[in-house]
Amino acid sequence: MTLTLKQQLSSPGGILKFLVKYNTIFIFILLVIFSALISDVFFTSVNLSNLLKQVSGIGIISIGMLLVILTGGIDLSVGSMVALLAVTFAILINLVILPLAIVLTIAIGFGLGSVSGYLVAYQKMAPFVATLALMTIARGLGFIYAKGSPVTFKTAGGVFMSNFANNSTLGIPNIAIVFFIIVIATMVMLRYNVFGRLIIAIGSNEEASRLSGIKVNKYKFLVYAISGALAATAAIIVASRTNLGSPNMGMSWELDAIAAVVIGGASLNGGRGTAINTLMGVLILGLIGNILNLLNVPSYPQQVVKGAIIIFAVLLQRFESK
Amino acid sequence: MKNSENEYRLEMSGISKSFGVVSVLKDVTLKVKPGEIHALLGENGAGKSTLIKILSGVHHKDSGTVFLNGEEINPKNTHEGQVLGISVVYQELSLVNDLSVAENIYLHKLGASKFWMNWDKITKDAQELIDSLGFTIDASAKVRDLSIVQKQVVEIAKALSEDTKVLVLDEPTTVFDPTDTKKLFDNLFRLRDKGISIIYISHHLDEIIKIADSITVLRDGVDTGTMAVKDTDTDGIIRLMIGRELKDLFPVRDAVIGTEPIFEVKNLTAKDTLVHDVSFSVRPGEVLGIAGLGGSGRTETAKLIFGADKKKSGTLILNGKEIKTKSPVDAAAHQIGFVSEDRKEEGVFLPLSIRRNVSVTNFKSISGKLGFINVDNEYKKVLGLIDKLNIKTPSSEVDVKNLSGGNQQKVALAKWLSIDSKVIFIDEPTRGVDVGAKIEIYNLINEVAKKGVGVVVISSDMPEIMGISDRILVMHDGTIYGELQKEQFSEENILRYSIGKALKQHN
């Protein structure tokens, strides 16, 4: 890791090693080239901005998932949280002023995430189990509060959010900008911020971290809470795009988020993974869906291709660790 | 009132600690002066680690007092211990692989530090610290990419911050070669001369004699006294550690050794490890010891024979017939047993009952044609073995994780006895077990040999391997360097072969 780029490329087998090391970025670039070659529509601004809009919601929860996975945990609740929080946001936007609705929704997301965090960090529940329970609870609550059907935005605040979510600034969709800001903030945090370094430390060797006087439980608790807050952010975005909050939103998004993080080379054992690679993972998954849509491939074969890409990406990473 | 006490930097007195009903420490005293290297000795399970963990704040004492520089301390966690100036280098590496060397060294400070990382400063400080120890490691490298020796150095550097008053090292030289060990010792002497109190835990008595100023010996949770190193010698220390003469530990060998080898290995060479051109044979009823330094290829040889590692060339002959062991499945089918040194990871299934552990090698003989287990048969066999091996347990349904180290080891052995193994390889049979269980395991090895099994014991414990073997092979650099007959057994001879030297000629 101390070698310069040039040294890496000129060492024996260097180019291959370099490709394997940055495999996610290369897969992404290859996919872009491939997409551009086989479809005239791909490189149009309409298609690209659609693509970005589609991935932003899942992208944001993938960042939360990355933080949880870095500590060696997993958060299955985020998809259902998106549904519950989208409904919550739609209800709130019709009741209170917009800034308050946003703040409250994110706070509720943080609170729900804290429940998982508490169960995992302080009650020593397996993350899979605790967040599986939260997943069911959140989905159920979403249906209860929405009374079974979508809640539509009715106020001026709703109109504002809808405009924001569907428009672009300097050619980039606003919601993608939100996503990119979150990615950049996470990159900075994981590199330069003590909190970021400590969650990597905990995921890499929890016992050593504890012996170094790090408050392991506190940080584990916090990543789930942050994941919940990011699920709330994603919920606000997806609700605003469609002008409503529906309890059917975010269906199996947690699995897409895990897939994105894994394609991005993170280890489910914790300690390894970066925000930029997770961004690549999100874009790769989005691109596959996009290009298959452009080629008119129906959705079931799409799922098969997605699965195959996951296997391919993880096999490549095993090659890297050798 | 401090005047007279000030002679000691650290005073732990009357320390007692129990875990559940098991009493680990009873009224232990440990006093260390400033600028002193104090060796803490005792057998595995004697309570050394617990005592250190009480000092550092991992465990909390049930009773007793700890004074540091004349003031009573009571660290509630390791962080408080570190703030007080107590640093511990733990035996099992406690580094974070995915962080840099510098971050690892200052990990305990990160936990308490401010919002942003100061990369330049911690990398520079860490580099200076490592350079001052005389080792070459890049402070910005990821720990994952370091060698095991480098990791150990980082571990030591981590314990050395500017305010360290008491430094505890738990078996720090296990992975070091003599040059690195010497560097470490020079560093320890330098630290001692700066007035730091060093508590040094090691099983290498030669090391202790060389570097320590005084020693405290623990035996079964009780301290058997402190003395100056210059007033004692290795034999005296051993007597204190095991509480009896060494020779009483080992059973009388009375197995009848056959004349024809039951198992032969010819020119065995590994594909992926350093093991090459290994040839030896073992006869029925014989206990063959394999000695050598860590990393000389002893465990790898056993794994190679057992089929757990890949072979490049070589022949195995069992009862005069050539056999192939491509995997442990083949080895088990040929009734070759292997009791791993890493009992918890590779030897037993901790969450399963004794019965399930024992039956796992043995399904064929206890199950019918369709693979259904004949439960009566299973019980009969397992209970028979529990009885024969004297495994201390209320029933066969107790989970192995609840047994003591010695009894776990017996379960690991029982697995292989249940298939009437012809040859059994036992790697480090008594690591982590107390003296009582040691004696039982030695007797057990003796019993097994009596039944005509060829027993191959790999051990780093020199008195042990000399006490139980009929013949010793010494490995060096991946091959068998020399063979010692019973009358040639001595620590010196084993050591000379281990480091690749010929025996001294006695005239």
**Mean of the per-residue pLDDT values for chain B?**
83
Write the pLDDT tens digit of every residue in B239-260.
777 666 656 678 887 778 888 8
In this predicted complex, what is the ipTM?
0.77
Distance from CA of A269 to the nearest CA of B (A): 12
- Domain holding A150, by residue range, is 45-321
B interface test, pick of A188, A212, A277 with most B CB neighbours within 10 Å: A212
Nearest CA in chain B to A191: B117
**pLDDT over threshold 80, residue B505:** no
Nearest CA in chain A to B110: A194
Whether residues A271 and B98 touch (CB distance < 8 A) is answered with yes
In this prediction, residue A1 carries a pLDDT of: 42
In this prediction, residue B507 carries a pLDDT of: 47
Phi-psi region of B388 (alpha: psi -120 to 50; beta: other; left: phi over 0): alpha
Alpha helices in B97-229 (DSSP H): 101-105, 107-110, 119-133, 148-159, 178-193, 205-211
Please tell me which of the candidates B78, B95, B110 has its beta carbon nearest to residue A194.
B110
- Tell me which chain B residues have a C-beta less than 8 angstroms from the C-beta of A1: 140-142, 145
Nearest CA in chain B to A212: B108
Whether residues A213 and B77 touch (CB distance < 8 A) is answered with yes
Position B3 confidence tier, pLDDT thresholds 50, 70, 90:
very low
3-state secondary structure of A125: coil
User: Residue A80's closest CA among A72, A69, A88?
Assistant: A88
Alpha helices in chain A (DSSP H): 5-10, 14-21, 23-38, 45-70, 78-93, 98-121, 127-146, 156-166, 174-192, 194-204, 206-211, 216-242, 253-263, 275-294, 299-321
By the CB < 8 Å criterion, does B115 face chain A?
yes
Q: Dihedral of CA B3/B4/B10/B14: which sign?
A: negative
User: Residue B391's closest CA among B424, B342, B357, B419?
Assistant: B357
For B444-466, b where at least 16 C-beta lie within 10 A, e where not — what string?
Answer: bbbebbeebbbbbbbbbbbebbb
Is the CB of residue B341 less than 8 Å from the CB of residue B426? Answer: no
Write the pLDDT tens digit of every residue in B199-242.
998 877 778 888 999 999 888 788 888 888 888 877 777 777 76
Residue with tokens 């000389």: B296
Element housing B38 (H / E): strand B37-42
In this prediction, residue B2 carries a pLDDT of: 43
How far, in Å, are B251, B348, B430, B448, B465 from residue B442 at the CA level? 7, 19, 9, 10, 10
Q: Which domains does chain B have, with CATH numbers?
A: 2-245 (3.40.50.300), 246-335+422-500 (3.40.50.300), 345-419 (no CATH)
Distance from CA of A236 to the nearest CA of B (A): 29
Whether residues A194 and B114 touch (CB distance < 8 A) is answered with yes
In this prediction, residue B4 carries a pLDDT of: 46
In this prediction, residue A58 carries a pLDDT of: 95
In this prediction, residue B475 carries a pLDDT of: 92
Cα–chain center distance at B236: 22
Pairing, β B197-201 against β B214-219: unpaired
HSE (CB half, 13 Å, CA atoms) of B418? 30
> Within a domain: residue A184?
yes
Write the pLDDT tens digit of every residue in B78-95.
778 888 888 888 766 678
Average pLDDT over every residue of B423-447: 81
- How many CB atoms sit inside 10 A of residue A60's CB? 28
Is the CB of residue B16 less than 8 Å from the CB of residue B78? Answer: no
B interface test, pick of A3, A69, A70, A197 with most B CB neighbours within 10 Å: A197
> Within a domain: residue A246?
yes
Average pLDDT over every residue of B185-205: 87
Nearest CA in chain B to A205: B96
Kindly give, in sequence order, each residue whose CB lies less than 8 Å from that of residue B285, ignoring residues fewer than 6 positions away. B255, B256, B257, B258, B449, B450, B452, B453, B454
> Within a domain: residue A36?
no
In this prediction, residue B92 carries a pLDDT of: 64
> Within a domain: residue A111?
yes
DSSP bridge partners of B322 = B317
In this prediction, residue B93 carries a pLDDT of: 66
Tell me, what amino acid is at B431?
R
Tell me, what amino acid is at B167?
L
Q: What is the CATH number of the domain that holds A84?
A: 1.10.3470
Whether residues A271 and B97 touch (CB distance < 8 A) is answered with yes
By the CB < 8 Å criterion, does B59 face chain A?
no
- Tell me which chain B residues have a C-beta less than 8 angstroms from the C-beta of A203: 98
Dist. CA B417–CA B415, nearest whole Å: 6
Dist. CA A101–CA A92, nearest whole Å: 5
The residue with greater pLDDT, B305 or B113, is B305
Kindly give, in sequence order, each residue whose CB lies less than 8 Å from that of residue B226, ignoring residues fewer than 6 positions away. B29, B30, B31, B214, B215, B216
In this prediction, residue B12 carries a pLDDT of: 92
Tell me, what amino acid is at A288?
I
> Within a domain: residue A14?
no
HSE (CB half, 13 Å, CA atoms) of B75? 25
Please tell me which of the candidates A197, A207, A208 has its beta carbon nearest to residue B117.
A197
**Chain A residues within 8 angstroms (CB to CB) of chain B:** 1-2, 191-195, 197-198, 200-201, 203-205, 207-215, 271-272
Write the pLDDT tens digit of every residue in B335-351.
888 888 776 666 778 77
For B477-502, b where at least 16 C-beta lie within 10 A, e where not — what string?
Answer: bbbbbbebeeeebeeebbebbbbeee
In this prediction, residue A138 carries a pLDDT of: 95
Dist. CA B59–CA B117, nearest whole Å: 31
Distance from CA of B104 to the nearest CA of A (A): 9
φ, ψ of residue B375 to 5 degrees: the values are -65, -40
> Within a domain: residue A256?
yes
**What six digits make up the tokens of B162?**
């500017």
**What six digits make up the tokens of B416?**
């292989």
If you write DSSP's letter for every residue of B316-383 in order, what string do you get?
Answer: EEETTEEE--SSHHHHHHTTEEEE-S-IIIII--TTSBHHHHHHTT-HHHHB-TTS-B-HHHHHHHHH
Q: Dihedral of CA A118/A124/A126/A129: which sign?
A: negative
**Number of domains comprising chain A:** 1
Distance from CA of B169 to the nearest CA of A (A): 15
Whether residues B108 and A213 touch (CB distance < 8 A) is answered with yes
- How many CB atoms sit inside 10 A of residue B317's CB? 15
The low-confidence residues of chain A, meaning pLDDT below 50, are 1-3, 322
Write the pLDDT tens digit of every residue in B38-76.
999 876 667 888 899 899 888 888 999 999 988 899 888
User: Residue A173's closest CA among A289, A181, A83, A25?
Assistant: A181
- Tell me which chain A residues have a C-beta less than 8 angstroms from the C-beta of B110: 194, 197-198, 201, 212, 214
> Within a domain: residue A230?
yes
**pLDDT over threshold 60, residue B307:** yes
Residue with tokens 């012809």: B422
Q: Dihedral of CA A40/A41/A44/A47: which sign?
A: negative
Dist. CA A70–CA A77, nearest whole Å: 17
Distance from CA of B204 to the nearest CA of A (A): 26
> Within a domain: residue A3?
no
